[in-house]
């Protein structure tokens, strides 16, 4: 039996959950490989890491340009020595960095998350201007409107089957610190399947992140993870 029981996480995929942040920490211990250590601030750290990377890079570029600008002022005029070599060197470094980043990040794409798990719960989501219907049962567009109160288990894979009954909408899940945890788009005519493991109990809010008309910012719903 390759796969875990429904509702349990295959440790192999645990790592994908947290992108840049503490994925490796999550893999941890050996025995049974079913014990996981969850860091409560995973989402926050991931956002902060991306911002830090950006700010550091932007500052470095600005300082570098300032340095280049300053170098142009004195009556020196020697120009860059060995520019061709430097360019080649720079291109090679940049290409290697890009290739490394690609090989690291591509497997973490959401499309491969929890792919060989059996979700413990499946939730059907139908978006429309400007509300969501969420149900444990498939939603018939003719009788839609009745929403179930959604309660999902913590630390177990769940699946959202998301569609829209009018225009494109977003289905973006925020934790109670207003941090974006994961998302998919709600496209009319198609059902997108989003699998996720919530590692923190609490109330989660769903916001629309695809502009859908005047009610776009007030379109929301929520569910609980216990």
Which of 29, 34, 71, 146: binder of other proteins (CB under 8 A)?
71
Beta carbon nearer to other proteins, 29 or 105: 105
Beta carbon nearer to other proteins, 150 or 207: 207
Print the binding letters for residues 103-142 with other proteins: x by CB under 8 A, - otherwise. --xx-xxxxx-xxx-xxxxx-x----x-------xx-xxx
Residues 2 to 31 in contact with other proteins, rule: CB under 8 A: 2-3, 5-6, 16, 19-20
Residues 159 to 218 in contact with other proteins, rule: CB under 8 A: 159, 161, 163-168, 170, 172, 174, 178-185, 187-195, 205, 207-217
Bridge-based pairing of strands 151-152 and 220-225 is parallel
Q: What is the chain's Cα-based Rg?
A: 23
Instruction: Match 């179930």 to its residue by tokens.
Output: 148
Nearest to 198 by CA among 135, 137, 136, 114: 114
Residues 141 to 160 in contact with other proteins, rule: CB under 8 A: 141-142, 159
Assess 79 for contact with other proteins (CB under 8 A).
Answer: yes
Nearest to 110 by CA among 190, 49, 165, 173: 173
For residues 51 and 209, what is the distance between their CA atoms, to the nearest angstrom?
Answer: 20
For residues 124 and 97, what is the distance between their CA atoms, to the nearest angstrom?
Answer: 41
């Amino acid at each position: 039996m390759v796969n875990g029981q429904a509702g349990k996480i295959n440790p192999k995929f645990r790592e994908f959950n947290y992108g840049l942040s503490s994925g490796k920490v999550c893999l941890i211990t050996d025995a049974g490989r079913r014990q996981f250590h969850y860091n409560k601030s995973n989402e926050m750290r991931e956002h902060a890491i991306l911002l830090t990377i950006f700010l550091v890079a932007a500052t470095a570029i600005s300082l570098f340009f300032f340095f280049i600008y300053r170098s142009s002022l004195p009556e020196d005029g020697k120009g860059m020595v060995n520019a061709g070599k430097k360019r080649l060197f720079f291109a090679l470094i940049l290409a290697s960095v890009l290739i490394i980043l690609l090989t690291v990040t591509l497997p973490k794409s959401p499309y491969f998350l929890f792919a060989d798990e059996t979700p413990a719960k499946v939730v059907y989501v139908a978006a429309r201007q400007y509300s969501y219907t969420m149900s444990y049962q498939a939603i018939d567009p003719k009788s839609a409107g009745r929403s179930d109160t959604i309660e999902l288990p913590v630390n177990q894979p769940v699946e959202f089957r998301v569609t829209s009954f009018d225009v494109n909408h977003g289905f973006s899940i925020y934790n109670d610190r207003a941090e974006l945890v994961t998302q998919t788009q709600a496209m009319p005519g198609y059902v997108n399947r989003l699998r996720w493991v919530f590692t923190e109990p609490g109330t989660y809010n769903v916001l629309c992140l695809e502009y859908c008309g005047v009610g776009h910012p007030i379109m929301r719903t929520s569910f609980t993870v216990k």
